[in-house]
Structures are given as C-alpha cells and as structure tokens.
Amino acid sequence: MTYHTVPYDAFLRQTLARLADPGLFLVSHGQDGRTNAMAIGWGTIGIIWGKPMFLVLVRPSRFTYSLLEQSDSFTVCVPAPSQYDALLYCGNHSGRDEDKLAVCGLETVPSLRVRTPGLAGTPLIYECQIVHHNDILAGNLEKSIITEYYPQDNYHRVYFGEILAVRALPDAEALLEPARR
C-alpha cells in the first residue's frame, strides 16, 4: 500500500465529516514502544501561530493520555468504511488492558516526519508534532457544557499538533466519499 503526500487541507471537508461521524483514530506511541489507538469525535484543524494544527481532546483517565504525555507526536488516521468496526472497538476498550491493534487486526505504517506511526489502510494519515497543550478549565467553560459533558469533572487536555505531513492512499477520495443510502 503506497501513500503519497498531500497538502494538509486537501481532504479537510472529508476529515471533518468523518470526525463528526463515525470518528477518527488517534494514534499514540509511548517511550516503551507501545502503540495505541483510540477513537475521537472531538477535535479540529486550523491555523494557529501561522502553522497548520490538528487539535485533539483527551481525558486524563484515558490510556492514550499517558502515552501522549511521554511523546512528542501523534497521528490522526481517517478510517475507511471497512475499518469502522475497529474504530468502534478502539473507542470502547482500553489499551491499558489489551493490545487493541492486534485484537482489531490493525497494522502500523512508519511515519515520514514523526515517531508515532500511522495505521495501514486508512485513507489519510495526519502526522502531528505536539507543540502545546492546554487543560480545559471549569471556571472558563459555559455552564451548560459542564452539565452535559463534564458531570464527573473529568475535563479534557487539548493537544496542539502541528501537521508536519499528510499522506493519502491513491484511492482516498473514493474511500472518503459518504456512503450512498
């Protein structure tokens, strides 16, 4: 499977649509060499400090959080429809308890610009260098958001990942089009 490099915004519409439904893979890689993937449905892509950024939100209770704290990078992989079951599994199980990649039959592919690998077969891989993180602060957050999303005070950390490379499969455009119903 051969990937080619594309501009960070080449598939922006499709990436954001998949982020909303069914989600994306956030891949992290610890100092011990362990790789983990979790499903994310919150994040965004934009320009900050004059650079393309992928912002992802991770709760401190997640295994991915501990890996991101050890690392300087992450990848965000946009799933193909054939990977939706694996995405669902990765969203409902902890990498603390098992090797989710092995359970789901997911393989990694080396990144070009960061240490964290991507997931083979995903139509798009965003390679991101962590340049900053912020914790969500209850005192600065709209009360209705706290009530709906943080009833247990488990606020996210926002990781700012500078997008250093984006790689696409040759058939990425076809794989990322919405299913016709």
**According to the CATH classification, is domain 4-176 in 2.30.110.10?**
yes
Whole-angstrom CA distances from 114 to 28, 111, 163 are 11, 6, 10
Q: Where are the domains of the chain?
A: 4-176
Q: Tell me the per-residue pLDDT of 31-71, one tens digit each, with 9 for 90 and over.
A: 888 999 999 999 999 999 999 999 999 999 999 999 999 99
pTM above 0.85, yes or no: yes
Six-digit token pair at 125?
């891989």
pLDDT surpasses 80 at 19:
yes
Distance CA 76, CA 79 (A): 10
- pLDDT, position 53: 99
Whole-angstrom distance, CA of residue 126 vs CA of residue 38 = 15
Which pLDDT score is estimated for 112? 97
Which residues neighbour 144 within 8 Å (Cβ) at sequence distance 6 or greater?
none
Question: Which tens digits make up the pLDDT trace of 74-129?
Answer: 999 999 999 999 999 999 999 998 999 999 999 999 999 999 999 999 999 999 99
DSSP string across 84-131 = HHHHHHHHHS-TTTS-HHHHHT--EE--SSSSS-EETT-SEEEEEEEE
Query: What is the distance between the alpha carbons of residues 102 and 65, in angstroms, rounded to a whole number?
Result: 20
SS3 content of the chain, % helix, strand, coil (to 5): 25, 35, 40
pLDDT digits (tens, 9 = 90+) for 119-149: 999 999 999 999 999 999 999 999 999 999 9
pLDDT-derived band at 179, boundaries 50, 70, 90: low
